Amino acid sequence: GSARMLRITTEELAKHNKREDAWMAIRGFVYNVTTYLDYHPGGVPELMRGAGKDATLLFEEVHRWVNFESMLGACLIGKLEQGPPINN
């Protein structure tokens, strides 16, 4: 990737929790998964469970072997800025 990555706070991430505007953090990186939602083999509602959140644990629980880095390459928007812990 050539673009400089944005630093995204958990507060900013939380604003993007809608079907038509869905961001998700996995392993420190933030992805805009809005367009990917329709292609998720596990369905829209399952993927939406992680919208607006750090979905790393959810992701690892379900399918830690899935190569999301490659699949969501075009959807990468930034790095998650680690703030104080939030109870999701």
Q: Which residues bind ligand HEM (CB under 6 A)?
A: 26, 36, 40-42, 46-47, 49-50, 55, 58-59, 62-63, 66, 68, 71-72
Minimum separation from the CB atom of position 14 to ligand HEM (A): 15
Distance CA 29, CA 5 (A): 9
Identity of the residue, 20 or 61, whose beta carbon is nearer to ligand HEM in the bound complex = 61
- Name the token pair of 28: 């420190």
Closest CA to 54 of 1, 40, 84: 84
Please, what is the end-to-end C-alpha distance for the chain in angstroms? 30
Minimum separation from the CB atom of position 16 to ligand HEM (A): 14
Identity of the residue, 4 or 65, whose beta carbon is nearer to ligand HEM in the bound complex = 65
